[in-house]
Amino acid sequence: MGLKSYLKRGIRYIVKGIPEKYISVTIQTTEPNRMLQGKNIIITGGGRGLGYYIAKRSIQEGANVLITGRNEEVLKKAVTELGNHVQYLVFNVMNINKLETFIHSASEIFGGEKIHSLVSNAGISLHEGNFRNVTEEGWDKQMDTNLKGNYFLVGQFVQYLEKQENTSGSIVVITSERAKRSDDIPYGLTKAATSSFIQCMASKVIEKGIRINGVGPGVTASDMTGFDRNGNMYAEFQAGKRIFIPEEIAEVVNFLLSDVSNCINGEIITCNQGRHISHW
């Protein structure tokens, strides 16, 4: 570019300002082929955000879904929107001593039929920024929900499957891209520890046909992140310069829930277009 062109661009920026970069995201999904036909699936935190879209996609693939969460009104609204083949059960994953009762209640909702899969999705982030802003209360709340709650829920569900005549099943735990890097705030630390227990548990139960995998979303438009899926999805900090939408993550989760991914176990699939990868 010559000097004349640079001068013209400079004058244009002075007069009109630096143009805003804008990206909109088009939903790209595979055509439903009923790959979860007849599967009974529990999805925690399924009333909104990513859990809602995982439930929606699972239903499209033929699954019977039970969504859980702490807010009954949110769950009722989600069930109304999702239509048939979905029910709800109010439950907080922090209630460790009630997990066995929770699994039993879920089984009754499915008419006593086997529960084939669990999506352990419930989680919170307080967005402290760095360690200087972390409080003991915030630490405990995130550790108890994201790590302790999910750890014991997955363990309880494994024990449920081990009691079935056919012990096979698939568990998907929602972690985060933050698990791939060092961190100083509770959210990221819980996700790093979660990735560790996913891989270790997975190696110990695969011989019974039980698979445990993780999905680590990048920054995805949701209530938690505050990004509007209908607005500008441009993000300079992202590898691909955009925010993700929950349907993209739901595609990966449903693949891992299905029998077509039977050869995959103990993996953490990070869905951020490679932002976590360090290189020279």
Average pLDDT, the chain: 88
Q: Which of 208, 76, 57 is nearest to 119 (CA)?
A: 57
What domains appear along the chain, each with residue ranges and CATH number?
A: 3-271 (3.40.50.720)
Query: What pLDDT sits at residue 3?
Result: 46
How many CA atoms are closer than 13 Å to the CA of 6, on its beta-carbon side?
Answer: 3
Tokens encoding 113: 């039929």
Neighbours of 191 (CB within 10 A): 28
Note the pLDDT tens digit of each residue in 46-76.
Answer: 999 999 999 999 999 999 999 999 999 999 9
Element (H, E) at 65: strand 64-69
Note the pLDDT tens digit of each residue in 161-195.
Answer: 999 999 999 999 999 988 988 999 999 999 999 99
SS (H, E, C) 168-225: CEEEEEECCHHHHCCCCCHHHHHHHHHHHHHHHHHHHHHHHCEEEEEEEECCECCCCC
Give ∠ CA 226-231-237 in degrees, rounded to 5.
65
Q: Which of 176, 94, 173 is nearest to 127 (CA)?
A: 176
Average pLDDT score over residue span 120-146:
95
Q: What confidence tier does 262 reach under pLDDT thresholds 50, 70, 90? A: very high
